[in-house]
Amino acid sequence: MNRRAFVAGAGALAAASTLGSVARAAQLGRIGLQLYTVREIFQSDPVGTLEKVARIGYREVEYGGGNYDTMDHALLRRTMDRLHLSSPSLHIPYDTLLNRFGDAVKMAKTLGADTIVVPWLSEEFRTEAGFAPVVSNVNRFAKQAHDAGLGLAYHNHDFEFLNRSGGTSLYDRLVDGTDPALVKLELDLYWAVHAGQDAGKLIDRLSGRLYAFHAKDMKTDRSMAAVGTGTIDFAALFKRPGAAKVQHFYVENDDAPAPYLPDITTSFKNLRALRF
């Protein structure tokens, strides 16, 4: 082989190798939105808001906030069907699950969800004593959900990592004390990082129990930002071995600035362009 042929062949191999690596790069499929992000406009115009969300390109929504629990759920379901949206999961308050679990199941099934998510614990449950019944109740919720043909997951904030009892974080108490076969985890990456966690190691440790990610970015002052405009390396986190079985990727910016739609559009476009 002469030098010219060798160089041409090497170049072709390099190009093929590069194309192969690009072809193997993963990207997200159906990107979701936690509707708490747009709660102000959703509360006043739920149908119109779902239409705008679908127009951006979102294909999944997770209900939470905006008084969605008091709305006509059959109407919301018809709207989603028309817009080719689905709602795999929804946030239902802890107190509702304690006192009206049957209502929660009915709401989830009407909206087409397969998983109920425990979204938040009020201050009274964030102490060592207050947290004591939470683990057993979450186990009970999960069993009730399973019997109804649904799954159950727990969504974190930062306090579960920061509040400790006997040297153990509330989050570890929850993870260690709940049935791994029934209780899944919706990991809010921002809040984990905000609490000082190594999110990559946390993802690998939780591995098979991870149901979904909540994605919002963090500015240098630690406030919230649209995905792709802050300091969190989502590509590095999504390619962790522990993330391989995560089913849903929801944008959620609790503090998205009005009019909200530009913020969720930025997050969607950056997640859509992400390769990992």
DSSP reduced 3-state for 238 = helix
Per-residue pLDDT tens digits for 27-54: 999 999 999 999 999 999 999 999 999 9
Task: Check whether 21 has a pLDDT greater than 50.
Answer: no
Q: Where are the alpha helices (DSSP H) in 61-209?
A: 73-83, 94-99, 101-111, 128-147, 159-162, 170-177, 189-194, 199-206
Hey, how many other C-beta atoms are within 10 angstroms of the C-beta on 185? Answer: 25
pLDDT at 246: 97
Whole-angstrom distance, CA of residue 120 vs CA of residue 123? 10
Whole-angstrom distance, CA of residue 79 vs CA of residue 84? 9
pLDDT at 166: 82
Paired strand residues for 89: 115
Q: What is the DSSP letter of 181?
A: T
Cα angle: 239, vertex 244, 248; to 5 degrees: 100
Hey, how many other C-beta atoms are within 10 angstroms of the C-beta on 91? Answer: 22
pTM of the model: 0.90
Whole-angstrom distance, CA of residue 86 vs CA of residue 101? 22
pLDDT at 11: 53
